[in-house]
């Protein structure tokens, strides 16, 4: 398992990620809303604004407070832990 730091102490298994999305489109907002009602949403924003939505192969939806480009960049680097922020 390659861990990916998604901000503020949150870590996700890289091999579980299917998609990294910008949350500002209506279809993505509907996906997040549906996941919340079904109990499949994981909030990793820690009270901050949602800037990224991550879809996992388990059907779970993760909301994160860092930019999608940042997470993609972290996927391409070896894991460094939380000291990067």
Range of the domain at 35: 3-79
Q: How many domains does the chain have?
A: 1
pTM to 2 decimals? 0.86
Q: What gap in Å lies between CA 25 and CA 4, rounded to an integer? A: 24
Give me the phi and psi of 66, to 5 degrees please: -110, 160
Is residue 16 within 8 Å of 58, Cβ to Cβ? yes
Position 85 in a domain: no
Position 17 in a domain: yes
12-62: pLDDT as tens digits = 999 999 999 999 999 999 999 999 999 999 999 989 999 999 999 999 999
Which residues touch 47 (CB under 8 Å, ≥6 apart)? none
52-83: pLDDT as tens digits = 999 999 999 999 999 999 999 888 876 665 55
């Amino acid at each position: 398992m390659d861990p990916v730091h998604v901000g503020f102490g949150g870590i996700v298994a890289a091999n579980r990620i299917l998609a990294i999305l910008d949350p500002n489109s209506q279809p993505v907002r509907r996906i997040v809303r549906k996941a919340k009602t079904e109990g499949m949403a994981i909030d990793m924003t820690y009270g901050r604004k949602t800037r990224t939505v991550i879809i996992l192969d388990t059907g779970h939806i993760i909301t994160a407070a860092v930019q999608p480009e940042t997470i993609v960049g972290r996927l391409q680097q070896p894991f460094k832990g939380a000291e990067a922020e």
